[in-house]
């Protein structure tokens, strides 16, 4: 937990906001809102790690704000703690039923509030670690197929909104079964790890993405770049693996481990990713294999 957590404080009373700010400002990055509308806007803009919110506010009370937070994909997982003068058991029950993770009544003891906030943020940290591990391939340490599917969905929609192209590349290690049969699976696993590192190192832009799809097969997403640029990036990836100079088996017919790649570029027009796009890229991967391996083949423009 090296980077400070961010906490959104929502209260219509300036004195209450000031009290919580004085209590927490040394430990967390704070964002302040004085009503429900601001709370929703700032929750989306800042995506805080935790929200501390009063219940009684004008125009939109804390319960309604929580309902709207839970109905928004961007904010539904942000934990909310109610801090309020409403101390009836029914009020607390309602807040917890709506999805609040805690309910603290005023007046509160500062040290107790500080500890409860710390404990909830520790749970956030642990949950994120588990989620991150679940999205990584255990052998290579790069994103796995599950993570690829999530990123693919997100980047597809982003490119559709911006009317910009996205490229999908499918690639695998040439003659990998022959390498495994010659050197053993432990050596093959090390090849996959080295190839994965080379793939990540070859990508130039923050949005470029690579994942292990399964076996010796990998996938890349190259959003918001034209076909010529995507092909150039794919060629850089191919060259990066070849320049590792990992010796292949003597009877493999080639001196080094190489990869073959098939790609396709489209401008998204439908709401979700086209399921046929992967098949097109995969077909051109096999075209690259058929034409001699260690090459990039790209689907022609429509």
The torsion angle over the Cα atoms of residues 251, 287, 207 and 159, rounded to 10 degrees, is: -170
Q: Contact, 101 vs 70, CB < 8 A?
A: no
Please name the residues in contact with 126: beta carbons below 8 A apart, sequence gap of 6 or more.
none
Strand segments, DSSP code E, in the chain are: 6-10, 29-33, 50-53, 80-84, 102-105, 166-173, 209-214, 217-223, 259-266, 296-298
Helix (H/G/I), strand (E/B), else coil: 194: helix
- Distance, CA of 174 to CA of 176 (rounded, Å): 5
Place of tokens 């509030």: 113
- Distance, CA of 36 to CA of 22 (rounded, Å): 22
Q: Contact, 79 vs 128, CB < 8 A?
A: no
Catalytic residue among 92, 155, 216, 297: 216
Measure CA 256 to chain center. 34
- Distance, CA of 152 to CA of 158 (rounded, Å): 10
- Residue 47 bears catalytic tag: no
Q: Contact, 281 vs 169, CB < 8 A?
A: yes
Residue 126 tokens, joined: 């642990």
Active site residue ranges:
216
């Amino acid at each position: 937990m090296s980077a400070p957590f961010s906490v959104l404080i929502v209260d219509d009373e300036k004195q209450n906001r000031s009290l919580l700010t004085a209590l927490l400002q040394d430990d967390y990055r704070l964002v302040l809102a004085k009503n429900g509308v601001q709370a929703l806007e700032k929750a989306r803009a800042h995506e805080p790690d935790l929200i501390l919110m009063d219940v009684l506010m004008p125009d939109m009370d804390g319960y309604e704000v929580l309902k709207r937070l839970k109905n928004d994909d961007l904010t539904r997982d942000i934990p909310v703690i109610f801090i309020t003068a409403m101390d009836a058991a029914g009020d607390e029950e309602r807040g917890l039923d709506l999805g609040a993770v805690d309910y603290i009544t005023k007046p509160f003891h500062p040290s107790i509030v500080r500890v409860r906030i710390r404990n909830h943020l520790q749970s956030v940290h642990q949950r994120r670690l588990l989620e991150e591990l679940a999205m990584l391939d255990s052998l290579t340490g790069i994103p796995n197929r599950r993570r690829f599917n999530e990123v693919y969905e997100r980047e597809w929609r982003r490119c559709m909104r911006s009317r910009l192209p996205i490229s999908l590349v499918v690639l695998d290690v040439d003659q990998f079964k022959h390498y495994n049969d010659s050197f053993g699976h432990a050596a093959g696993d090390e090849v996959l790890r080295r190839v994965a590192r080379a793939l990540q190192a070859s990508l130039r832009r923050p949005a470029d993405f690579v994942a292990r799809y399964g076996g010796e097969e990998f996938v890349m997403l190259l959003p918001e770049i034209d076909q010529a640029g995507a092909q150039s990036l794919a060629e850089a990836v191919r060259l990066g693996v070849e320049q590792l100079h990992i010796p292949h088996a003597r009877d493999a017919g080639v001196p080094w481990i190489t990869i073959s790649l098939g790609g396709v570029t489209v401008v998204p027009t439908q709401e979700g990713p086209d399921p046929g796009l992967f098949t097109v890229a995969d077909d051109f991967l096999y075209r690259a294999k058929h034409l001699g391996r260690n090459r990039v083949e790209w689907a022609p423009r429509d």
